[in-house]
Amino acid sequence: MASFILRVAGAVPVCARGSPRRGNLRKLRFSSSSPSRVPSSRSVSRSGFAEELSEIVDQSKRVRLEHLIQQAEDALKFAVKNGPVTFPCACIAGDVVILNLLHELGYLETGEVKVVLIDTLHLFPETVEFFREKERAYGFKGIICKPEGCASKADFDKSYGSELWKKDIELYDKVAKVEPFQRSLRETQCRTMITGRRRDQGFERAFIEIYEEGKGDILCNVQPIAYWTFKECFDYLDTYSIPAHPLHEKGYPSIGDAKDTIPVDRDKWFEYAGERSGRFQGITTASGEKKTECGMHVDDGGVERVFDRDLWDKNSMVEKLTERATVKDLLGSNLELHEPGKLMVIYAPWCKYCMATEKAFEAFAESAPGVAVAYRGDVDREFVSKLGVQSFPTFLYFPGGGNEPVKFEGAEEDRTAEKFVQFHSTMDWFHKGSPNVFR
């Protein structure tokens, strides 16, 4: 990681790919890096002094915005140098700033940055349409990720109920936000992620940096507007006449799910953390605290790490397989007649049906030591689909010897320890008693 730190701390490259249009605007508006003359109360009247002071304040703001733009562009260039790059875009003001900067740098049309919208199926309809408008305006094709197995709100309600967010906000976050988010990062092979997080959005983000080391497969998180204020985001959009989300005009400072986002008096928008003051209304976390984060952007000390819990922990009797090779070994293993076959569950930790069967499969594992195995399928869909997996959870009996696994066909109510034992015993009977069935 030393080289990474040196690259961030080194000399900042000169911006070379900015738009001529915005470059001309900069020359017009930001012609000086410092006030041309400091007013003196001795040489002008009080009213004249106030007027000059106001002009200097305005000029200082323009100079600061110019610096912030340059800083953000340098961060985006760094991100692209360390790609593949993914930008999860929620279409809020700061994200629209970043979209425009990416467009000005040419990274959208070339596809060097993949833009993702997480559609929880609870968004305002204006959000999806606004995203499509940006696609057309900037000439890129974004990626819209929805909850697994759901093409519409009706599909979501059928699978999880229309009030899941009221009954279990952690599960809602998992299936509607976090799983699609993590899936989008895998599918875009993200190595560097761009986010629109800023320090003024609240205490949880008060100390973020522009460049932060990533986790897992993510090398780096880049927050190009981390040091901007909410007001400066609108200053940028206003200066360059960039259309913002239409719901800002209706009083929404930030736009999330329609179910828990409300308008806020505009005079409160630019207070500290004011942007997100209309979000997560009436929602508390499992610990009883007011919800402030969606669950996708939390640090190790955050109270909302609801998406990291896997099923069947390290104390479980269920053996967790983490590599394709181990599953292939089961397919090709030549089991002796006295050796029991393996019963594998292919699962996704965010899936409510998988969570519902966790205890039953654990009980089966305890009754048949060394037999129960688990493989996480949502992170390796291409591979598990070749095993006939179309949904989670799927239970497969592996007879070995290069033979195809046998699927447990029981209904949801049949996913009990007793049924698993019965199924496994039956398969083993065929395997042991009639070897030619499998060999």
Question: Residue 292 falls within a domain, yes or no?
Answer: no
Indicate whether 312 pLDDT > 60. Answer: yes
Same-domain status, 247 and 395:
no
Q: Do 334 and 213 share a structural domain?
A: no
CATH code of the domain containing 388: 3.40.30.10
Secondary element (H or E) of residue 384: helix 381-385
| 325 and 209 co-located in one domain | no
Domain boundary among 235, 268, 301: 268
Residue 220 pairs in a beta bridge with 192, 213
User: Rounded mean pLDDT of the chain?
Assistant: 82
Helix%, strand%, coil% for the chain, nearest 5: 45, 10, 45
Taking only Cα atoms into account, the Rg of the chain, rounded to an integer number of angstroms, comes to 27
Q: Which of the four pLDDT bands, split at 50, 70 and 90, describes residue 99?
A: very high
pLDDT tens profile 216-234 = 789 999 999 999 999 999 9
State whether 130 and 256 are in the same domain.
yes
- With 70 as the cut, is the pLDDT of residue 278 above it? no
Phi, psi of 213 (to 5 degrees): -65, 135
Give the range of the structural domain holding residue 195, as residue numbers without chain letter. Answer: 14-29+57-268
The reply to whether 20 and 99 lie within a common domain is yes
Average pLDDT rounded to a whole number, residues 31-42: 52
Pair 137, 240 in one domain: yes
Structural domain count, the chain: 2
| Residue corresponding to tokens 């967010």 | 165
430 pLDDT above the threshold of 50: yes
Which of 268-277, 279-288, 392-401, 416-425 tops mean pLDDT?
416-425
Is residue 373 assigned to a domain?
yes
Query: Does residue 382 form part of some domain?
Result: yes
**Is the confidence at residue 48, as pLDDT, over 70?**
yes
| Length of the chain counted residue by residue | 439
Residue 330's pLDDT band (boundaries 50, 70, 90)? Answer: confident
Based on the domain organization, do 253 and 336 belong to the same domain?
Answer: no
* Domain boundary pick from 268, 287, 302: 268
* pLDDT tens profile 369-384: 989 999 998 878 888 8
pLDDT band of residue 215 (cuts 50, 70, 90) is confident
Phi, psi for residue 320 in degrees, rounded to 5: -95, 125
Question: Residue 326 has what pLDDT?
Answer: 83
CA distance 69 to 261: 29
Residues 176, 102 contacting (CB under 8 angstroms): no
Q: What pLDDT is stored for residue 3 in this prediction?
A: 38
Answer for the pair 291, 304: CB distance below 8 angstroms, yes or no.
yes
Query: For the domain that residue 234 is a member of, what is the CATH number?
Result: 3.40.50.620
Residue 144 lies in a domain: yes
The winner for highest mean pLDDT among 40-54, 126-140, 320-334, 420-434 is 126-140
Residue at 251 is within a domain: yes
Same domain, 258 and 331: no
* Neighbouring residues of 345: CB distance < 8 A, sequence distance ≥ 6: 318, 354, 357, 361, 372, 373, 374, 375, 393, 394, 395
Distance CA 336, CA 432 (A): 9
46 has pLDDT over 80: no
Reported confidence tier of residue 304, pLDDT bands at 50, 70, 90: very low
Q: Are residues 67 and 176 in the same domain?
A: yes
Q: Among candidates 356, 366, 354, which has minimal Cα distance to 317? A: 366
